[in-house]
Amino acid sequence: MINQKIAKILYEISILLDMDDIQFKPRAYEKASLTIQDLNEDLEVIYKKGGIKAIKEIPSIGEGISRKIEEFIKNGKIKEYEELKEKFPVDIDELKRVEGLGPKGIKFLYKKLKIKNIEELERAAKENKLRNFEGWGQKKEDNILKGIEFIKKGTGRFPLGQVFPLINEIRDRIGSLKEVKKVIIAGSVRRWKETIGDVDILVISDNPKPIMEFFTKMPEVGKIYGKGETKSTVKLMNGMDIDIRVVEEKSYGAALNYFTGSKEHNVALRQIAKDKGLKLSEYGLFKGNKFIAGRTEEELYKTLGLRYIEPELRESHGDEIKAAKENKLPRLINYDELKGDLQVQTNWTDGSNSIKEMALEAKKYGLQYIVITDHTKTLAMTGGLKEKDLIQQGKEIARINKELNGIRIFKGAEVNILKDGSLDINDETLEQLDVVGIAVHSNFNMSKEDMTNRIIKAMKNKHADILFHPTGRIIHKREPFQVDMDKIIKMAIETNTILEIDAYPDRLDLNDEYIKKAIKMGAKLSIDSDAHNIKHFDFLKFGIAQARRGWAAKNDIINTMGLKEFEGYINQKRQR
């Protein structure tokens, strides 16, 4: 797919045109970029089938932009873009990763200080050159430095959701080679960690040589670190490293176990083996020189006297080993057990699809119900809904529900928790909704005590049902805000408020530790996609993985309830 490449270029053109003080055009490029990001069909395919005419028929793509797209498909570059980049040699892609720095800020800093990249930005901020501009100040300068710090820390790790489709595609490509008997992704990917350092691919084969050839020659490969008989390492053009190892069938379980990790889990298993007078390695479990287990992982755990431990649990710092010994591992929620999605945005605010489109797509994912939760009025940049809009949307939902079968839409909202803990939608309107989500979207930099009190006050509103993305963090972008999670969990139980596991790949909020804690204390959780377009239901699996990493069973998650049960649950909630 070249769509993402083109979308990125169009977005950069929009910023560069704006730097050039050109009116209106930037907005058109930005809109086109957003449309293309969400397009299901490959632009190259569209073009091959219907030429430039077919491109022009895509909404929000006009004559001028369709010519640029054609140019890219034909020549692999866009002349205007190259010229603009020469005129403004600014690393937009890099700079816009800094939290709090948007296109306007990038333009401003280039005009005033000729800042082109993160290094120059950092230097300027450290020399206090930003704080004296109107509308900037010391606080913003500090935040920019914090944002830079954050990016530096995260460098090299990728949010799993960002690279997951590519990883699976590569796995399938390798799997289709005739020399390959089996291929599996091990390492942190198999443990579904929030972010991954590199990808570890394990292959069973008697003939590794052609596999090494194929692997090191994949079109995505940017650099070969090493190419051996049975193992190789490459860096892809997107910066991600991949290791591949070929093993024999006989040691597959042991190798898979070793390369799945975590390292701490491996160390603990080896100790258990040692205590039994055995030796565990990536080649198998041995008594002296005699191979006694290692063909499968199940066999390995069994021989060590443990219950099988799911990969998502293999990093709980020893807890999982203790539980496996005592037969106390949870029966984790399965990847097919969600029946509803309680946070879904639409084109009424910042989502890209209609209510009906979202509902129909949810049905394809096997869901029985969704809650529409568009943003509310104080989140102005998303065009947040006012009371009267919510009432109107409710009517629309009722109408659509009559048209659809097999999927039920509930009326909801993602209501802003204001600085003082009050909600930005009045009680009479909240009363009319089926499910009320509440969330912090502003004033993140409060003291722990103030933030905790703010959220507790909001949870005490009798209409509040779910606390969305409870810590507000964005991976690689924004630290969680300061909050006393013990108190929040206690209050969630007392006020019967659901705590959300937001499945959006750069949120994954709550994190695994808080999930574990919330479950232990007895709170109820939900797993929601936070979808902003129809493709985002695909994120639910990352939320389920996160829940599993937090030791969640089916019963801990509210939206594993079927429609009837869920309806009963919210009706009961409404009556109190």
Q: Where on the chain is the footprint of Ca ion (CB under 5 A)?
A: 187-188, 198, 200, 243
Which H or E element spans position 567? helix 563-575
Nearest residue relative to Ca ion (C-beta)? 187
Are 23 and 92 spatial neighbours (Cβ–Cβ below 8 Å)? no
Residue in the block written with tokens 């997107």: 238
Burial of 70 (0-12, 13-18, 19+ CB in 10 A): middle
Q: What is the DSSP letter of 429?
A: H
- Please report, for residues 69, 161, 294, 345, the alpha-carbon distance to residue 6 in angstroms, rounded to integers and kept in the order given: 7, 21, 47, 25
Which of residues 194 and 434 has its CB atom nearest to ligand DGT in the complex?
194
Which H or E element spans position 185? strand 182-185
- Report the nearest approach of ligand DGT to the CB of residue 232 (Å): 14
Which of residues 260 and 452 has its CB atom nearest to ligand DGT in the complex?
260
Residue 542 contact partner, candidates ligand DGT, Ca ion, none, CB within 5 to 8 A by sort of partner = none
Which two three-digit tokens encode residue 407? 């999927």
**Distance between CA atoms of 565 and 545, rounded to whole angstroms?**
24
- Report the nearest approach of Ca ion to the CB of residue 297 (Å): 17
**Distance between CA atoms of 33 and 25, rounded to whole angstroms?**
12
- Report the nearest approach of ligand DGT to the CB of residue 139 (Å): 34
Residue 12 contact partner, candidates ligand DGT, Ca ion, none, CB within 5 to 8 A by sort of partner = none
**Distance between CA atoms of 261 and 284, rounded to whole angstroms?**
15
Residue 126 contact partner, candidates ligand DGT, Ca ion, none, CB within 5 to 8 A by sort of partner = none
- Report the nearest approach of ligand DGT to the CB of residue 153 (Å): 14
Binding residues for ligand DGT, per CB under 6 A? 187-188, 193, 196-198, 200, 258-259, 261-263, 266-267
Residue 114 contact partner, candidates ligand DGT, Ca ion, none, CB within 5 to 8 A by sort of partner = none
Question: Dihedrals φ, ψ of 499, to 5°?
Answer: -100, 135
Which of residues 164 and 537 has its CB atom nearest to Ca ion in the complex?
164
Q: What is the DSSP letter of 553?
A: B
Are 384 and 413 spatial neighbours (Cβ–Cβ below 8 Å)? no
Which of residues 130 and 167 has its CB atom nearest to ligand DGT in the complex?
167
- Report the nearest approach of Ca ion to the CB of residue 280 (Å): 19
Which of residues 88 and 301 has its CB atom nearest to ligand DGT in the complex?
301
Which of residues 147 and 311 has its CB atom nearest to ligand DGT in the complex?
311
Phi-psi domain of 211 (left: phi exceeds 0; alpha: psi -120 through 50; beta: other): alpha
Are 66 and 6 spatial neighbours (Cβ–Cβ below 8 Å)? no
Which of residues 267 and 398 has its CB atom nearest to ligand DGT in the complex?
267
Residue 267 contact partner, candidates ligand DGT, Ca ion, none, CB within 5 to 8 A by sort of partner = ligand DGT
Which of residues 171 and 574 has its CB atom nearest to ligand DGT in the complex?
171
- Report the nearest approach of ligand DGT to the CB of residue 243 (Å): 7
- Report the nearest approach of Ca ion to the CB of residue 242 (Å): 8
Go through 241-272 and write b for each residue having 16 or more CB atoms within 10 A of its CB, e for each that does not: bbbbbbbeeebbbbbbbbbbbbeebbebbbeb
Nearest residue relative to ligand DGT (C-beta)? 261
- Report the nearest approach of ligand DGT to the CB of residue 160 (Å): 9
Residue 261 contact partner, candidates ligand DGT, Ca ion, none, CB within 5 to 8 A by sort of partner = ligand DGT
Phi-psi domain of 383 (left: phi exceeds 0; alpha: psi -120 through 50; beta: other): left
Residue 263 contact partner, candidates Ca ion, ligand DGT, none, CB within 5 to 8 A by sort of partner = ligand DGT
Cβ-Cβ contacts under 8 Å for 92 (sequence gap 6 or more): 12, 15, 16, 103, 106
Which of residues 252 and 514 has its CB atom nearest to Ca ion in the complex?
252
Which of residues 80 and 198 has its CB atom nearest to ligand DGT in the complex?
198
- Report the nearest approach of Ca ion to the CB of residue 486 (Å): 33
- Report the nearest approach of ligand DGT to the CB of residue 190 (Å): 8
Which of residues 410 and 542 has its CB atom nearest to Ca ion in the complex?
542
Are 442 and 478 spatial neighbours (Cβ–Cβ below 8 Å)? no
Beta-strand relationship, 279-281 and 290-293: unpaired
- Report the nearest approach of ligand DGT to the CB of residue 282 (Å): 8
- Report the nearest approach of Ca ion to the CB of residue 167 (Å): 11
Are 558 and 566 spatial neighbours (Cβ–Cβ below 8 Å)? yes
Cβ-Cβ contacts under 8 Å for 561 (sequence gap 6 or more): 339, 340, 569
Cβ-Cβ contacts under 8 Å for 527 (sequence gap 6 or more): 338, 500, 501, 503, 540, 543, 544, 546, 547, 557, 559
**Distance between CA atoms of 483 and 511, rounded to whole angstroms?**
14
Which of residues 148 and 160 has its CB atom nearest to Ca ion in the complex?
160
**Distance between CA atoms of 307 and 304, rounded to whole angstroms?**
9
